[in-house]
Amino acid sequence: MRKNIVAGNWKMNTTVPEGVKLAKEVNDAVAAAGDLKCDVVIGVPFTHLTAVKAVIDINKVGLAAENCADHTSGAYTGEVSAPMVASTGANYVILGHSERRGYYGETYEILKNKVDLALESGLKIIFCCGESLEERENGSFKEVIKAELADSLFHLSAEAFANIVIAYEPIWAIGTGKTATSDQAQEVHAFIRGLVAEKYGEQVANDTTILYGGSCKPANAPELFAKPDIDGGLIGGASLKAESFMGIVTAF
Ligand code: 13P
């Protein structure tokens, strides 16, 4: 049966000392909470990975990079590869975030390469998808989500696909304070699970964790997480304070 996961995505926030402090606070709070009904992951900037890894118990708090390069090594100034991420002890990478797609031109093809390289390095992937406001309003959102998933993930074998967590993040809900209603989110999560079932069968679909992201907070997490196909959250703003992040972690 699939896992529930609450993952933070710090984005481009915190200095290294601030990030280490926040990671320690999350780690301590998770340890103190005892048995949780979800796995906890924090997604941090590349610069923070090694220092954060040193202050967390990786068996209790997973560690994600927010991106990786579409090449393994070589003359790609400024890039950070999947093997480099894995060598820090991180066990996840977030790929396909709408901010990467939108601001840095990440295409389905580039993401497909990143997915392959991350898996080769033994990283699990939190793979994001989601529509813009225009796509929501003109009704094309399901086609958009289908293409985002099919063109970057569905070349994988069922065995490789077991390392994929999907995050549905409607772009119009990210950082806007406008959460998708739990019914809107559930509709898309069920649709995504259906796509996975069509491609890989019911068993794989039932085992796939699908997270919701977009203005998720302690106040709205319980209603979202109560839906049958919402298996947790990918949390931006509310992951930057241990207290609000833990308020979501304990929403299950
Ligand atoms: P917010 O929680 O700040 O809306 O961000 C969501 C997100 O983009 C997580 O990846």
Among 67, 215, 220, residue to substitute to test ligand 1 (most atoms within 8 Å of Cβ): 215
CA pair distance 51, 43, nearest whole angstrom:
13
**Residues in Cβ contact with 183 at an 8 Å cutoff, skipping those fewer than 6 apart:** none
CA pair distance 197, 210, nearest whole angstrom:
13
Task: Enter the tokens of residue 139.
Answer: 């009704």
Largest CA distance in the chain: 47
Q: Find the helix or strand (DSSP H, E) in which 108 lies.
A: helix 108-120
Instruction: Check pLDDT > 90 for residue 177.
Output: no
Quote the ligand 1 centre to 181 CA distance (angstroms): 15
Please report where in the chains the tokens 């997490």 appear, as a residue: 221
Q: Find the helix or strand (DSSP H, E) in which 167 lies.
A: strand 164-168
pTM of the predicted protein model: 0.98
Please report where in the chains the tokens 């280490």 appear, as a residue: 20
For ligand 1, atom 5, which residue shows the shortest CA distance?
236
Quote the ligand 1 centre to 91 CA distance (angstroms): 20
The residue length of the chain stands at 252
Looking at residue 179, what is its pLDDT? 85
Average pLDDT rounded to a whole number, residues 204-208: 98
Looking at residue 178, what is its pLDDT? 84
Mean pLDDT, the chain, whole residue set: 97
Return the ligand 1 atom nearest residue 177 CA. 4
Residue 205 carries which DSSP code?
H
Looking at residue 231, what is its pLDDT? 98
Could you give the percent of the chain with pLDDT greater than 90? 97
DSSP bridge pairs for 39: 5
Catalytic choice (66, 106, 135, 169): 169
CA pair distance 87, 164, nearest whole angstrom:
20
